[in-house]
């Protein structure tokens, strides 16, 4: 140890971290030489870091309480956090000290960090957006809580066997979680089922919901450290627990085992994340999850508000509740129930408070993602909430008819209740009616939201609709994920961009600086080598770092058109086989992403990519020029390695279908060029950097809409001989010789019922791709110039900007700066019995 100590500088912080690490190893974990494993070492370091968070965490809560600040409550069924350790260390500003402290003891901090499992409590963009928002809220000193579910199993682990996706459970809590604190004292009881009793009391109906079953929710808190280590906010996740007096009746009747069994059933509620992205499944357990976390969160918010000892009409001055899609929309009837049934407010006043407190974010236009619960299901699980929803609907429609006196179809579309053989409750309608703000997540999406999805609502509530273009946190996605590029940028323009991302535009002149361009390319090369190493360790695949990295990583979905990419690869394959290719430097096509386990076509797309990969990678005449890889188990941690290494970012959804996209932004700020359609936030990226610095192709959202009725894939195929050959090869079974007919459903959806217009865009995609390849092959320097211009133009896409817009326009919240305080002298005093 003594000899290694000489390698690092003396610093009291470093010395304290070493000691705390050693003490946690010994006293918290009893890890002697026989038990000192990579997990105990990781855990001990996490504890040592956590010790440096707790005091500011306490101080943040205390300051926010004492100043009577308005808090933001972000309700989300998903928080795709990834790892916490390196992010927390960087935000605390302790990176060098931790590195040195570990080096002194003979450990590489980077290796310890690799032990941490991802907190994969989300599916894709919607869940990762929630995580980026928490980082920005804390960094911007906005008092806020994330509320969600502490799933015991996050998004499944994806394996690929013979080209097919298989799912493995993600038991992320197996070795404990040093980043959470169980708050056994913060526990609420949630009811389900039963009946509503009505009592006439002093001229007013009093409703009492007598639930049949109860489950408890226990709070588990994770600290959210803002950059600079000042504000530390809370992500509060609820874990389901059977009530202590579980099933007394069965117990007393002697069926002890049956009673324990039903106890375990109650705890199912927080067991597993539903793995569907942009797809709704009307499962009863999912509805129960939604109500479970909404009820716990609102009880907690109400408890905190009651400390103010002020009147209920002040609630919107102390709380802004943001609904991340409709998943938490039961918050609307739940708040009404609390105010009316428990607090005895009149309907009108309760409704005014509810609407002023709630905000709703819509994330998709896809009809199959819209949540609709069968009325009968709601009635049996939440009878009182259904009554309240009916009353909300009744009053709303009375108001709305005056806007559409002679249009019953308009009223039908506005109604929360969808009529039909089995009635359904439309949660998006409830959310718009029950909140003062409905926002989309990119300009195009917000426009289509009012024009196509909810034209009638935008007549009734013209002032409620607004746009909040998504963003990402530059701290995780640039500073943390790409340290070499981050320090190069800071060297050029200073480090103000870390907390003020608009400053990134100061990088623009460096596009003209030849040395900077060379350095940029060197850094990109290093990032590739780093990614290649990670991928080799992670899944055993060997990639060529001296090739162009062409990357499409995101959930597998037909609208995202991984098939378009695959068809273009087949086209290139044929050109190479026929010796028709020129100006082509070796390209590695990289795919990654999970398919919902029940989404047959998405799983087939994975299989097709893997089969194409096999044909190409096994063919020595081709693989020198192109290789194809599907990387299993794409997740936040893999994205952090892969995105900095990317040359060309694939954002090729059918225009009008990707609400925003956020991967597009992560690639942009890491100096990838984008090949993409005018969809989602990619439109705004083109606005910021200029179309000429991207590879934009394909039909616009409006053109797609106009084409819908007459689109005929055969027309597009027959008119283009090269595309025809691509289809002939695919249909001949060339990629599934030993597996006849497996791709029939894909052929069917491409040729007979394609909602995503693959062939209408394939020619312009292929041409655009050629342009990209041509530039990359013949003029790396011009490529680097464009990449730097893209980074410099990415200032808009920080989640700091997004959060400031939410704070100013929707939440009306202010920053509450927290002093950073090193002393913890009050510790003993706080521990003393009161």
Binding residues (CB under 6 A) for ligand KUQ: these are 123, 125-126, 129, 276-278, 363-364, 369, 441, 470, 658-662, 680
**Is-catalytic flag, 785?**
no
d(CA 468, CA 809): 10
d(CA 178, CA 46): 6
Q: How far is the CB of 116 from ligand KUQ (least distance, A)?
A: 24
Give the side-chain half-sphere CA count within 13 A for 661. Answer: 33
Beta carbons within 10 angstroms of residue 333's beta carbon:
25
Q: Which is nearer to ligand KUQ, 278 or 446 (by Cβ)?
A: 278
CB 382 within 8 A of CB 291: yes
Q: Which of 464, 475, 560, 785 is catalytic?
A: 560
Residue from 314, 305, 323, 363 nearest 124 by CA: 363
> What is the end-to-end Cα distance of the chain in Å, rounded?
45
State the DSSP H helix or E strand holding residue 631, giving kind and residue range, or none if neither. strand 626-631
Q: Which of 71, 327, 666, 693 is catalytic?
A: 666
Q: How far is the CB of 128 from ligand KUQ (least distance, A)?
A: 8
Q: How far is the CB of 277 from ligand KUQ (least distance, A)?
A: 5
Residue from 684, 675, 683 nearest 767 by CA: 675
Rounded to 5 degrees, what angle do the CA atoms 563, 569, 570 make?
Answer: 90
Q: Which is nearer to ligand KUQ, 441 or 686 (by Cβ)?
A: 441
Q: How far is the CB of 273 from ligand KUQ (least distance, A)?
A: 9
Q: How far is the CB of 679 from ligand KUQ (least distance, A)?
A: 9
d(CA 376, CA 386): 10
**Is-catalytic flag, 554?**
yes
Q: How far is the CB of 168 from ligand KUQ (least distance, A)?
A: 20
Q: Which is nearer to ligand KUQ, 122 or 178 (by Cβ)?
A: 122
Q: Which residues of 172-197 are buried (b: 16+ CB within 10 A; e: fewer)?
A: bbeeebbbbbeeeebbbebbbbbeee
Q: How far is the CB of 366 from ligand KUQ (least distance, A)?
A: 8
Q: Which is nearer to ligand KUQ, 286 or 526 (by Cβ)?
A: 286
Q: Which is nearer to ligand KUQ, 277 or 650 (by Cβ)?
A: 277
d(CA 267, CA 761): 48
Residue from 17, 6, 3 nearest 101 by CA: 17
DSSP 807: I
Q: Which is nearer to ligand KUQ, 393 or 653 (by Cβ)?
A: 653
Q: How far is the CB of 545 from ligand KUQ (least distance, A)?
A: 30
Q: How far is the CB of 519 from ligand KUQ (least distance, A)?
A: 32
Q: Which of 128, 157, 468, 554 is catalytic?
A: 554
Q: How far is the CB of 711 from ligand KUQ (least distance, A)?
A: 23
Q: Which is nearer to ligand KUQ, 57 or 657 (by Cβ)?
A: 657
Residue from 433, 454, 464, 679 nearest 554 by CA: 679
Q: Which residues of 673-682 are buried (b: 16+ CB within 10 A; e: fewer)?
A: bbbbbbbbbb
Beta carbons within 10 angstroms of residue 606's beta carbon:
22
**Is-catalytic flag, 662?**
yes
Residue positions counted in the chain: 834
Structure tokens at 429: 């309608």
**Is-catalytic flag, 666?**
yes
d(CA 127, CA 122): 5
Residue from 364, 314, 363, 353 nearest 435 by CA: 353
Point out which residues pair with 438 in neighbouring strands. 360, 465
DSSP 525: H
Q: How far is the CB of 310 from ligand KUQ (least distance, A)?
A: 35
CB 259 within 8 A of CB 251: yes
CB 637 within 8 A of CB 83: yes
d(CA 119, CA 132): 14
CB proximity list for 309: less than 8 A, separation 6 or greater: none
Q: Which is nearer to ligand KUQ, 470 or 565 (by Cβ)?
A: 470
CB 421 within 8 A of CB 661: no
Q: Which is nearer to ligand KUQ, 363 or 476 (by Cβ)?
A: 363
Using CB atoms, what's the residue nearest to ligand KUQ?
125
Q: Which is nearer to ligand KUQ, 438 or 587 (by Cβ)?
A: 438
d(CA 810, CA 359): 7
Q: Which is nearer to ligand KUQ, 333 or 661 (by Cβ)?
A: 661
Q: Is the dihedral of CA 237, 241, 245, 247 positive or negative?
A: positive
Is residue 495 packed enough to be buried (19+ CB in 10 Å), middle (13-18) or exposed (0-12)? middle
Q: Which of 41, 99, 363, 699 is catalytic?
A: 363
Beta carbons within 10 angstroms of residue 115's beta carbon:
18
Phi-psi region of 83 (alpha: psi -120 to 50; beta: other; left: phi over 0): beta
Q: Which is nearer to ligand KUQ, 179 or 634 (by Cβ)?
A: 634
d(CA 534, CA 32): 30
Point out which residues pair with 199 in neighbouring strands. 206
Q: Which is nearer to ligand KUQ, 276 or 297 (by Cβ)?
A: 276
Q: Which of 59, 83, 384, 555 is catalytic?
A: 555
Q: Going along 336-468, which residue ranges are E strands?
A: 358-361, 372-374, 417-418, 424-426, 437-440, 465-467
Q: Which residues are catalytic?
A: 363, 554-555, 560, 662, 666
């Amino acid at each position: 140890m003594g000899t290694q100590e000489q390698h690092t500088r003396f610093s009291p912080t470093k010395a304290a971290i070493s000691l705390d690490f050693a003490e946690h190893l010994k006293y918290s974990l009893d890890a002697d030489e026989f038990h000192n494993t990579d997990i105990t070492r990781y855990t001990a370091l996490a504890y040592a870091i956590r010790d440096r968070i707790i005091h500011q965490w306490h101080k943040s809560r205390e300051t926010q309480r004492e100043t009577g600040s308005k808090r933001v409550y972000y309700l989300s069924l998903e928080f795709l956090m990834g790892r916490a350790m390196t992010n927390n260390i960087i935000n605390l500003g302790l990176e060098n000290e931790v590195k040195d402290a570990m080096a002194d003891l003979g450990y590489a901090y980077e290796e310890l960090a690799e032990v941490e499992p991802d907190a994969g409590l989300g599916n894709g963009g919607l869940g990762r957006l929630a995580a980026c928002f928490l980082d920005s809220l804390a960094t911007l000193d906005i008092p806020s809580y994330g509320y969600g579910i502490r799933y015991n199993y996050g998004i499944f682990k994806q394996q690929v066997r013979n080209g097919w996706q298989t799912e493995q459970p993600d038991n992320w809590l197996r070795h404990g979680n040093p980043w959470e604190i169980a708050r056994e004292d913060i526990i609420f009881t949630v009811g389900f089922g039963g009946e509503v009793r009505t009592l006439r009391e002093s001229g007013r109906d009093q409703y009492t919901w007598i639930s049949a079953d109860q489950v408890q929710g226990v709070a588990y808190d994770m600290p959210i450290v803002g950059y600079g280590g000042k504000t530390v906010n809370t992500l509060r996740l609820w874990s389901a627990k059977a009530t202590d007096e579980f099933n007394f009746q069965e117990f007393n009747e002697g069926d002890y085992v049956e009673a324990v069994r039903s106890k375990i059933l109650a705890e199912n509620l927080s067991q597993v994340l539903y793995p569907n992205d942009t797809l709704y499944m009307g499962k009863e357990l999912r509805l129960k999850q939604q109500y479970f976390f909404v009820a716990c969160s609102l009880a907690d918010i109400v408890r905190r508000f009651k400390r103010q000892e002020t009147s209920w009409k002040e609630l919107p001055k102390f709380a802004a509740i943001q609904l991340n899609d409709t998943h938490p929309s039961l918050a609307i009837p739940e708040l009404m129930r609390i105010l009316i049934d428990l607090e005895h407010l009149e309907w009108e006043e309760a409704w005014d408070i509810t609407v002023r407190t709630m905000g709703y974010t819509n994330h998709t236009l896809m009809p199959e993602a819209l949540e609709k619960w069968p009325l009968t299901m709601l009635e049996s699980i939440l009878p009182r909430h259904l009554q309240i929803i009916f009353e909300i609907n009744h009053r709303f429609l009375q108001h709305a008819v005056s806007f559409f006196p002679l249009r019953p179809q308009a009223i039908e579309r506005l109604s929360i209740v969808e009529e039909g053989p089995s009635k359904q409750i439309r949660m998006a309608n409830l959310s718009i009616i029950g909140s003062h703000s409905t926002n989309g997540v990119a300009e195009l999406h917000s426009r289509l939201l009012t024009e196509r999805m909810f034209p009638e609502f935008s007549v009734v509530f013209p002032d409620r609709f607004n746009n909040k273009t998504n963003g990402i946190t530059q701290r995780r996605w640039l500073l943390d994920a790409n340290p070499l590029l981050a320090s190069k940028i800071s060297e050029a323009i200073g480090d103000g961009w870390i907390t003020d991302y608009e400053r990134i535009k100061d990088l623009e002149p460096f596009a003209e600086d030849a040395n900077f361009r060379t350095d940029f390319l060197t850094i990109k090369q290093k990032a590739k080598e780093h990614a290649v190493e990670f991928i080799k360790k992670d899944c055993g695949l060997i990639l060529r770092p001296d090739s162009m990295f062409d990357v499409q990583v995101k959930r597998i979905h037909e609208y995202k058109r991984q098939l378009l990419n695959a068809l273009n690869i087949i086209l290139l394959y044929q050109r190479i086989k026929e010796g028709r290719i020129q100006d082509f430097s070796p390209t590695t096509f990289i795919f990654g992403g999970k398919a919902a386990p029940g989404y047959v076509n998405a799983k087939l797309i994975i299989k097709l990519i893997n089969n194409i990969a096999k044909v190409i990678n096994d063919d020595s005449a081709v693989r020198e020029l192109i290789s194809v890889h599907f990387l299993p188990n794409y997740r936040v941690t893999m994205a952090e390695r892969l995105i900095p290494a990317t040359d060309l970012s694939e954002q090729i959804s059918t225009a009008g279908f990707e609400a925003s996209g956020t991967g597009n932004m992560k690639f942009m700020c890491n100096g990838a060029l984008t090949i993409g359609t005018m969809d989602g936030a990619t439109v705004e990226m083109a606005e910021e950097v200029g179309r000429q610095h991207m590879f934009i192709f394909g039909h616009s959202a409006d053109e797609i809409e106009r084409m819908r009725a007459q689109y005929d894939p055969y027309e597009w195929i027959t008119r283009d001989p090269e595309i025809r050959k691509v289809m002939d090869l695919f249909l001949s079974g060339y990629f599934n010789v030993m597996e006849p007919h497996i791709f029939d459903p894909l052929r069917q959806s491409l040729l007979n019922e394609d909602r995503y217009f693959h062939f209408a865009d394939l020619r312009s995609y292929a041409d655009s791709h050629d342009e990209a390849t041509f530039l990359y092959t013949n003029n790396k320097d011009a490529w680097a110039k464009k990449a730097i211009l893209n980074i410099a133009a990415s200032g808009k896409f920080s989640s700091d900007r997004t959060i400031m817009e939410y704070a100013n326009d929707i939440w009306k919240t202010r920053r509450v700066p927290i002093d950073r305080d090193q002393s913890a002298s009050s510790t003993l005093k706080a521990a003393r019995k009161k």
